[in-house]
């Protein structure tokens, strides 16, 4: 067996192991037999036939999530370059993926002709600029969620995406989970009657502080890490792992977990390319001055143009399960990463009829992305869908910050007769880390 044959054999073994694991998992998450009978499991992309069939992959943002994404991507291509503004993260990724091409500036990496695909694992406030720069450099991109820091960033991203015609997958991987697709197909086909209410439960965020400034670690380019945001003293709790609990860089669990569950809510509601028309909400706690400032516990109410109401709550203090519950005139369906159940088992057990609405089927999120790189078809979570899902989360964060009901036009993507709220749709970017950098 030569080297290329050995490589293909090893991928085949991994794929068979993945299929076996997936089948075992589905037995415990409540999928009905009729649905399992029509499904197959495994990566939707074929195993590369040879080394020449494998695109060159670059990882930008080498923290834990970025390296995990890149590990999955490495089944479908060759990792040829890594980039991070933290030398420790950079060196860890270079060692893990056995690459010599290391960069601190992502713009230099994008000049590398061996790079075909970018895995964007940067913090949230860098997502848009890295994605846009990658599009302009002719790269296809798998970008971590949430897609953007602001609603306006999503509009700017979509403009460049359409101009460059690249392939992009938002990392909202629940769309490639069979139980989530089943739930949304059942709801879209009226299995629970007329959809009336969606209840989304998200993990509570962090609560803590105040935190003290510290000297910047020698391995970290703190100015570059801060990017478009205002300059502040280095505080370890603002950086790796916990940046998402600061409004400067993210939106807390609303934009973190919300980018997953609100995406499923939109899918089941048939509004994945639009959004709600009203939102109001409140933080349930007073955050500590000088500490994390994204609300750790909250309650939000949304209204859609089709009359559906959506409640989004943090799991604490309500003691709610983590997931999405669709409630209709004839029952309810609850779906989470742990499985799917319903008010009556028959709601799940009865097969959908011929001619029923069927949704985009992806069996593996990263595999779907690489399959679309080859076919140039749209992946399951292309950027308009990612933009619309995280816009729902951004609207919730803005409603809490402004402390009043907001009316939203999802087609014009602006607040209705509300000049102050519309000023929050975008943020000023700090030079030189603004759109001029790309």
In tens digits, what is the pLDDT along the chain, a chain of 438 residues? Answer: 444 444 443 444 444 444 444 444 444 578 999 998 775 443 355 666 666 679 999 999 999 999 999 999 999 999 999 999 999 999 999 999 999 999 999 999 999 999 999 999 999 999 999 999 999 999 999 999 999 999 999 999 999 999 999 999 999 999 999 999 999 999 999 999 999 999 999 999 999 999 999 999 999 999 999 999 999 999 999 999 999 999 999 999 999 999 999 999 999 999 999 999 999 999 999 999 999 999 999 999 999 999 999 999 999 999 999 999 999 999 999 999 999 999 999 999 999 999 999 999 999 999 999 999 999 999 999 999 999 999 999 999 999 999 999 999 999 999 999 999 999 999 999 999 999 999
Residue with tokens 């960069």: 103
- Give the CA diameter of the chain: 69
Q: Which residues are within 8 A (CB) of 147 and not within 5 positions of it... i.e. 6 or more apart?
A: 127, 128, 154, 157, 170, 259, 383, 386, 387, 389, 390
Cβ proximity of 411 and 391 under 8 Å: no
Q: Retrieve residue 159's tokens.
A: 């403009």
Q: How far is CA 182 from its chain centroid?
A: 20
Q: Residue 392 has what pLDDT? A: 98
Q: Retrieve residue 169's tokens.
A: 């997958």
| CA distance readout (Å), 234 to 150, 220, 289, 434 | 23, 10, 16, 21
The rounded distance, in Å, linking the Cα atoms of 393 and 286 is 20
Cα-flanking dihedrals φ and ψ of residue 326, to 5°?
A: -100, 125
Q: Which residues are within 8 A (CB) of 208 and not within 5 positions of it... i.e. 6 or more apart?
A: 237, 288, 291, 292
Q: Residue 52 has what pLDDT? A: 62
Q: Which residues are within 8 A (CB) of 220 and not within 5 positions of it... i.e. 6 or more apart?
A: 85, 86, 87, 234, 239
Cβ proximity of 314 and 205 under 8 Å: yes
Overall pTM surpassing 0.95 (yes/no): no
Q: Which residues are within 8 A (CB) of 361 and not within 5 positions of it... i.e. 6 or more apart?
A: 181
User: What is the layout of strands, in order, in the sheet containing 309-314?
Assistant: 339-342, 331-336, 323-328, 195-202, 309-314, 298-303, 278-283, 406-409, 414-415
Where do the domains of the chain lie, and which CATH numbers do they carry? Answer: 3-174 (3.40.50.720), 182-354+383-437 (3.30.360.10)
Q: Residue 36 has what pLDDT? A: 86
| CA distance readout (Å), 281 to 310, 371, 419 | 12, 40, 19
Q: Which residues are within 8 A (CB) of 384 and not within 5 positions of it... i.e. 6 or more apart?
A: 158, 273
Cα-flanking dihedrals φ and ψ of residue 415, to 5°?
A: -75, 145
Bond preceding residue 91 cis, omega within 30 of 0: no
Q: Calculate the CA dihedral of residues 359, 361, 366, 370 and round it to 10 degrees.
A: -100
Q: Residue 28 has what pLDDT? A: 55
Q: Retrieve residue 328's tokens.
A: 């209709």
Q: Residue 234 has what pLDDT? A: 98
Q: How is residue 436 annotated by DSSP?
A: G
């Amino acid at each position: 067996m030569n080297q290329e044959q050995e490589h293909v054999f090893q991928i085949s073994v991994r794929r068979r192991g993945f299929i076996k694991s997936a089948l075992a998992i589905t037995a415990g998450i409540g999928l009905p037999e009729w649905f399992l009978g029509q499904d197959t499991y495994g990566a939707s992309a074929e195993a590369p036939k040879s080394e020449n069939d494998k695109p060159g992959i670059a990882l930008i943002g080498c923290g834990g999530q970025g390296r995990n994404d890149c590990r999955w991507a490495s089944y479908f291509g060759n990792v040829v370059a890594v980039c991070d503004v933290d030398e420790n993260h950079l060196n860890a990724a270079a060692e893990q993926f056995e690459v010599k091409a290391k960069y601190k500036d992502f713009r230099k990496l994008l000049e590398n002709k061996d790079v075909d695909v970018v895995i964007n694992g940067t913090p949230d406030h860098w997502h848009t600029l890295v994605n846009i720069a990658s599009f302009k450099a002719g790269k296809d991109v798998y970008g971590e969620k949430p897609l953007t820091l602001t609603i306006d960033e999503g509009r700017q991203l979509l403009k460049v995406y359409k101009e460059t015609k690249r392939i992009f997958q938002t990392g909202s991987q629940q769309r490639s989970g069979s139980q989530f697709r089943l739930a949304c197909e059942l709801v879209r086909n009226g299995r629970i009657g007329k959809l009336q209410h969606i209840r989304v439960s998200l993990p509570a965020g962090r609560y803590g502080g105040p935190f003290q400034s510290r000297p910047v670690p020698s391995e970290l380019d703190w100015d570059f890490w801060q990017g478009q945001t205002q300059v502040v003293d280095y505080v370890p709790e603002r950086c790796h792992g916990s940046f998402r609990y600061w409004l400067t860089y993210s939106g807390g669990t609303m934009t973190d977990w919300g980018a997953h569950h609100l995406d499923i809510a939109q899918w089941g509601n048939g509004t994945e390319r639009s959004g709600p028309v009203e939102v109001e909400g409140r933080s349930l706690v007073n955050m500590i001055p000088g500490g994390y400032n994204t609300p750790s516990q909250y309650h939000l109410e949304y209204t859609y143009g089709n009359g559906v109401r959506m409640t989004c709550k943090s799991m604490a203090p309500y003691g709610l399960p983590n997931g999405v519950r669709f409630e209709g005139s004839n029952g309810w369906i609850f779906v989470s990463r742990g499985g799917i159940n319903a008010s009556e088992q028959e709601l799940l057990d009865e097969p959908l009829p011929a001619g029923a609405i069927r949704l985009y089927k992806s069996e593996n999120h990263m595999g779907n992305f690489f399959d679309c790189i080859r076919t140039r078809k749209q992946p399951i979570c292309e950027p308009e869908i990612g933009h619309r899902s995280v816009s729902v989360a951004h609207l919730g964060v803005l409603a809490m910050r402004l402390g009043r009901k907001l009316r939203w036009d999802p087609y014009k993507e602006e607040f209705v007769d509300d000049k102050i709220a519309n000023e929050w749709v975008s943020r000023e970017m700090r030079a030189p880390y603004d759109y001029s950098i790309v």
